[in-house]
Amino acid sequence: MVADAHSQTARTVPNYPTRLPYRFNNFVWWGDAEIRGLLESRIPGLGDEISPNSATERKVRDALTIMLKEKGLVAEVQSQEPSTFSLAAEHVPDSPAPGIVFTIVSPQILVDKVIVSQAPEALTPSLNEKLRRREGHEYSGGQDWMVRSNVKEELEASGYLESQVDITHDAPRRDGDHYLVNLLITVKSGPQYRIASITADGGPLLRGRDFSPHFAQKAGDIAAAGPFGRLAGELRALYWHYGYADVEINGPPVLDRSDAEVSYHLEVIPGPLYHLHSLTIHNLNAEQESKVRELLGIKSGDVFDQMAINGLYRKISADPGLAAYGFTFRPAKDKATAEVDLTLDFYKVSDKGSVSIK
């Protein structure tokens, strides 16, 4: 809610790395260690990282093409380097770090069947149904992490909180002008956990409050995702409203493996109470700027209300003099003084395509 679909907080764009790790997307004839060993034998001094757009990158691409030719494949191999944006962006947990990716563009390598084994019997039909969508599409080892995440998410929603998911493929086989592999997914579900206890502490703003009516689950239930329901989000919004811009809401599972039980305790760590130090508004005339300050409703010296920024989107859309505008925002927080310098950058909605997102 600090930065929603209408805005992005400022990011520092790093210098593009001089060297990057590399990986292989769909070279299904070799395992990762095997293909790296073969490349090292052909390219002396090849390490785990290479320079982008370099002679070494071209050598790897050429060596892979020759290795495929030796297997009887006339193949086109491409390498893709990450964008500067992808290097600066936050990444989903367990997703691969940005790197140079080598891919066989032709012939196509397609997924024939997705075969799930050892999954809990009750979950097997739904897993098969969801994973069947990958059949007939291009095989991409770079997407294994996403498949694994989706399967684990399904397992965790049914109480299997310590599941392991292994993903591989079988031997490729030719089918006309392309190749097929089966995607093999092996599940080690572990025990199914039940909730032993679930409690919450609302922090200094709601000390002693009973939050149990807000919980999505109760003691004795099979553990599932989101046991606190919408409580964490509602608490975060409350603390943002009252100036706690760095609030942390934590409620990790505590496992009792001997009894296959899990306990949850939600804790609020409010952090410092921030005040607005300055408000800077760009790209509006004096009358519009004055109106925006009025609609925002906070001024220098006031408690910094992050929720007021979200409310501002709704307010300007209803104001005739501002409805044609959107904005991005940059809250620069100084933890030492517990103050925020807030900058609002406005733009005409019709010009949005030309606005650089920070």
* Beta-bridge partners for 185: 116, 167
* Domains (range + CATH), the chain: 20-106 (3.10.20), 109-188 (3.10.20.310), 194-269 (3.10.20.310), 275-354 (3.10.20.310)
Residue 350 pLDDT grade (very low, low, confident, very high; cuts 50, 70, 90): confident
Q: How far apart are CA 273 and CA 337, in angstroms?
A: 10
DSSP 138: B
With bands split at pLDDT 50, 70 and 90, how would you rate the model's confidence at 351? low
pLDDT at 90: 74
Nearest Cα residue to 340 out of 312, 301, 296:
301
- The whole-angstrom separation of Cα 121 and Cα 124 is 5
Name the residue among 87, 28, 100 with its Cα closest to residue 60: 100
Query: Rounded to 5 degrees, what are φ and ψ at 118?
Result: 70, 10
pLDDT digits (tens, 9 = 90+) for 84-130: 878 877 778 888 889 999 999 999 999 999 999 999 999 999 999 99
Task: Report helix angle 306-317 to 231-241, nearest 10.
Answer: 90
Residues 199 and 231 sit within 8 Å (Cβ to Cβ): no
Give the mean pLDDT of 283-288. 96
Query: For 262-283, what is each residue's pLDDT tens digit?
Result: 999 999 999 999 999 999 999 9
pTM of the full structure = 0.78
Q: CA 152, CA 140: separation in Å to the nearest integer? A: 19
* Mean pLDDT in residue range 334-348: 96
Rounded-to-integer distance, Cα 188 and Cα 131, Å: 17
Contact yes or no for 181/114 (Cβ under 8 A): no
Place of tokens 């060993």: 37
* CA pair distance 303, 239, nearest whole angstrom: 11
Q: What is the pLDDT of residues 11-67, one digit of tens each?
A: 344 578 899 999 999 999 999 999 999 999 999 999 999 999 999 999 999 999 999
Of 246, 208, 219, 201, residue with least CA distance to 336: 246
157 contacts 216 by C-beta, under 8 angstroms: no
**C-alpha distances in Å from residue 31, one per residue of 147, 184, 351:** 19, 14, 49
pLDDT at position 353 is 44
